[in-house]
Amino acid sequence: MTEDTGPTSETDDHHEDISDVIYARTEEGAVQLASNADRWHLYEDYVHLDPGHPQDEYYRWEAEKKDIVDDPDRGALVVIDMQNDFCEPGGWADSMGMDPTDCRDAIPSIQRAIETAREYGMWVIWVYWHNREDLRNLGAPTLYSFKKDPDQPGIGEELENGAVLTEGSWGAEMVEDLQPFMDDEDIYVEKVRMSGFYGTHLEQVLRTQGIETLFFAGVNADQCVETTMEDAYFRDYNSILLTDATATASPDFCKDAVVHNAQLCWGFTMTTEQFADADPFEG
């Protein structure tokens, strides 16, 4: 019978290499996460999202579950689906018996987030549904998500104020309260699925402009905001949910689950007040 001597030296070398490279300890005592240019440094009380460029101007934001340090030049505010059909009386959500009040309650925080992003010199990116009039780019599963019964008005069908979420319609317009905050220099991304990444030019814009960190706002938290944030996480973007600038017409537990998973899996959360109150960081 051969005595089991434990892992081979090759296995030991492998684990040693992982610790020395992917989870290497820095001179300051942080744990490095990844070994490429987009690595993070993990400390006890904060995460440095951009330690590889010490010449940059860094800020520290209070966040859950760790504070974050980053260069705002790498950041962008992503405002999702703040459109009449989701947020206004007479829109699609209202016609379905959903109360748009919570969605509207997020508007002052979104305004604050936009003003803050501009002060930091960040891009503001508007992501929104703009469907074709002929709906040829929407399949049955997407159409069903907006039309559960034969008599229910779906995407492209007429309500009192026009066609639901159709380019050029009142329902597809941004809410009036945010229109003064829209600038010609902002980035505008039309989508035809819940995620702002699917079938759009969003990622091309982010890559070409060197944007690595995304602050998310808008509606609905548990649908289009969630899926866009998840897709950002899958693509290794640094993702932060602005909790008071994000809302949903769904029950409260739906947003609670998004906030929980944003902290546990996809990145970080903070309020717009915390977003505005970053401190210069010298590490």
Q: What would the DSSP string read from start to end of the chain? A: ------S-HHHHHHHHHHHHHTTPBPTTSPEEE-SSTT-EEE-SSEEES-TT-TTS-EEEE--BSSEEEE-GGGEEEEEE--BHHHHSTTSHHHHTT--THHHHHTHHHHHHHHHHHHHHT-EEEEEEE-B-TT-TT--HHHHHHH--STTS--TT-EETTEETTBTTSTTTSBPTTTGGG--TTSEEEEESSSSSSTTSSHHHHHHHTT--EEEEEES-IIIIIHHHHHHHHHTT-EEEEEEEEE--SS-HHHHHHHHHHIIIII-EEE-HHHHHT-EEE--
Is the pLDDT reported for residue 15 higher than 60?
Answer: no
Per-residue confidence (pLDDT) for residue 1, from 0 to 100: 47
Per-residue confidence (pLDDT) for residue 10, from 0 to 100: 52
Determine the average pLDDT of the residues in 116-124: 97
Per-residue confidence (pLDDT) for residue 16, from 0 to 100: 56
Whether residue 265 lies in the annotated active site? no
Q: Tokens 């941004």 label which residue?
A: 174
When mean pLDDT is compared over 23-37, 90-104, 134-148, 263-277, the highest value belongs to 263-277
Whether residue 87 lies in the annotated active site? no
Percent of the chain with pLDDT over 70: 93
Q: Distance between CA 265 and CA 256 in Å, rounded? A: 14
Is the pLDDT reported for residue 46 higher than 80?
Answer: yes
Q: Are 116 and 276 in contact (CB under 8 A)?
A: yes
Q: What are phi and psi of 36, to 5 degrees?
A: -95, -175
Per-residue confidence (pLDDT) for residue 161, from 0 to 100: 85
Whether residue 148 lies in the annotated active site? no
What residue segments make up the domains of the chain, in order of their start? 9-70, 72-281
Per-residue confidence (pLDDT) for residue 98, from 0 to 100: 81
Q: Are 223 and 159 in contact (CB under 8 A)?
A: no
Catalytic residue among 67, 73, 85, 191: 191
Catalytic residue among 50, 67, 70, 81: 81
Is the bond preceding 65 in cis, omega lying within 30 degrees of 0?
yes
| Residue 52's pLDDT band (cuts 50, 70, 90) | confident
| Residue 55's pLDDT band (cuts 50, 70, 90) | confident
Residue (of 201, 218, 197) closest to 209 by Cα position = 201
For 207-244, write each residue's pLDDT tens digit: 999 999 999 999 999 999 999 999 999 999 999 999 99
> Residue 186 is which amino acid?
D
Per-residue confidence (pLDDT) for residue 4, from 0 to 100: 53
For the domain with range 72-281, which CATH number is right: 1.10.510.10, 3.40.50.850, 3.40.50.300, 3.40.50.2300? 3.40.50.850
Per-residue confidence (pLDDT) for residue 273, from 0 to 100: 98
Catalytic residue among 73, 85, 94, 224: 224
Determine the average pLDDT of the residues in 90-108: 85
Determine the average pLDDT of the residues in 179-205: 96
Q: Distance between CA 140 and CA 147 in Å, rounded? A: 10
Is the pLDDT reported for residue 13 higher than 60?
Answer: no
